[in-house]
Amino acid sequence: MDSHQLFRCELTGADASRKFPSPRTLAYSERASGSIKLGLGNSPNSPLSSQFDCDTLSILSNSQEQYSSTETISGVSPSQYSPLEINSSSEQTHIHPAESIQPQLTKQRSRTWSHESRMEPPAVIQPQYTSGRFPKASHEVHPEKRLREMKEFPESDVKQMLIRCAEALSEDKINEFEMLVQEARASVSIIGEPIQHLGAYMLEGLVARKESSGTNIYRALRCQKPASKELLSYMRILYDICPYFKFGYMAANGAIAEALRHEDRIHIIDFQIAQGTQWVTLIQALAARPGGPPHVRITGIDDAESEYARGDGLQLVGKMLSDMSKKFNIPLEFNGLPVFGPDVTREMLDIRPGEALAVNFTLQLHHTPDESVDVNNPRDGLLRMVKGLSPKVTTLVEQESNTNTTPFLMRFLETLDYYYAMFESIDVTLPRDSKQRINVEQHCLAKDIVNIIACEGKERVERHELLGKWRSRLTMAGFKPLPLSSYVNSVIKSLLGCYSDKYTLVEKDGAMLLGWKDRNLISASAWH
């Protein structure tokens, strides 16, 4: 099986009736007619499982029905969601939490999402900077009233105001900083322009840094569950409206499929298993091999915080994979390791002779400390340990940002630039006063922003590096680049056709970088 077969499998599922909300359609989810009913099942579900659709696109596979995953853009697992049942005047469609990654073009138009009934405008949470706590409600303001009352602040003015605050704090000019924060309050809002949305969280990060409360905020938000079972998963929404996760999964799976296409015994080690959703389409493709399926073994590594967010231990992943094994008639073993990645040893992994090994790092490795935090340099040590296992392929998906060892002020500027691009990409799909959008930004992105800005030392766990730095680390560990195939690249380019034309895809030295306008956001590479 090569990557062609993998994506053919993803393209040719049995049920052509399943449709998914497109990034364009989701923007109207709080305004359209019809109804959405939410029902929670017994097992937690997540955003990384459902796939996408666009105006001329629909999913043609139901092979991953009831399989899901939990993970954020930085590899953490914050929430649950459930299948949706959409009712319209003419038809009824069930949205399941996991389907094949790659869609097939059709002439059918996607439908509009809606609430079961016309909702009142959501109460907006306003940041309380003086407390140093994450935004909590001091009073309720309806979005339309707030938007009428807000002044218009040019993007450059908001950026400069935020930078002035950061400069004052970096120079320990506390009185000046507090005055600037008071002034900046008037220019930021979680229902304004993208820079105003981002500014509200950046400002909160600065105040948290001043009051040394960033770590408590990050820990609380990292494991926070939805306030109500009636809410859609925030990560599910982010997954639907932006291609970041799909890009990473497709690139990694394509590289693994290509490298292991002739192997009869396969062992996949995933250093951030979450709910195992990434492997659903790959397993389905392996099961469809003309000469019969290989024996597959998956070792899933997961920490206690991810377990908390998932709602259960790794046995939940094991059951899902066991069900897949029976459904697709493929021999499959699962071994869960509930430990932090840097603590994994060779002995824990049960390496067996005759197995072709694939190791996967998806939005996870940046959480492992390096030499700037720990003299033992766990980040490079982990890569050397993995190289010692002699994998046929190792895949790496990471945020393309330089926040690891840079000094505070430069790190603040980098975070401002990076997340401004991401907030802009959300802006093209969700209304600015959308309750869904506020939830997505607050629960999926803001916690990372606060951690990067407010925390230092071991407490700062969001430590991203650029592809060039990762390349140096992998090379020093003994790895060599394994270029992503042209076919995988072409499939990813087709994926981006379902989204805004402002997304960019750059091929660089065998790796791929997904970006927004002129800012690269996610890198994907393969190594051997």
pLDDT single digits (tens) 221-240 = 655 554 433 334 777 788 88
DSSP 481: B
How many angstroms separate the CA atoms of 130 and 141, rounded? 19
How many angstroms separate the CA atoms of 204 and 184, rounded? 11
pLDDT tens column, 39-65: 222 323 222 223 333 433 333 233 333
Q: What pLDDT does residue 403 have? A: 97
Of all residues in the chain, the percent with pLDDT exceeding 90 is 54
pLDDT tens column, 105-159: 333 333 222 333 333 333 333 344 333 344 443 334 444 444 444 445 577 899 9
Q: What pLDDT does residue 195 have? A: 95
Nearest to 257 by CA among 289, 302, 297, 298: 289
Whole-angstrom CA distances from 63 to 18, 69, 81, 96, 328 are: 11, 15, 19, 10, 9
pLDDT tens column, 264-323: 999 999 999 887 888 998 999 999 999 899 999 999 998 766 665 555 678 888 999 999
- Asked if 191 and 126 count as a contact pair (C-beta separation under 8 A), the reply is no
Nearest to 232 by CA among 123, 97, 432: 97
How many angstroms separate the CA atoms of 326 and 505, rounded? 38
Place of tokens 């930085």: 74
Residues 401-426, buried b or exposed e (16+ Cβ, 10 A)? bbbbeeeeeebbebbbebbbbbbbbb
SS (H, E, C) 421-443: HHHHHHHCCCCCCCHHHHHHHHH
- The mean of the pLDDT values for the chain is 75
The pair of structure tokens assigned to 273 is 């298993």
Considering only residues 42 and 424, tell me which one the structure prediction assigns the higher pLDDT. Answer: 424
How many angstroms separate the CA atoms of 187 and 181, rounded? 10
How many angstroms separate the CA atoms of 378 and 371, rounded? 7
The pair of structure tokens assigned to 258 is 């290509």
* pTM for this model (two decimals): 0.75
Q: What pLDDT does residue 234 have? A: 78
Of all residues in the chain, the percent with pLDDT exceeding 70 is 66
Place of tokens 């950046």: 202
Q: What pLDDT does residue 21 have? A: 42
- Asked if 381 and 417 count as a contact pair (C-beta separation under 8 A), the reply is no
C-alpha Rg value of the chain to the nearest Å: 22
Please count the other Cβ atoms lying within 10 Å of the Cβ belonging to residue 113.
24
Q: How many CA atoms lie within 13 A of 397 on its CB side?
A: 28
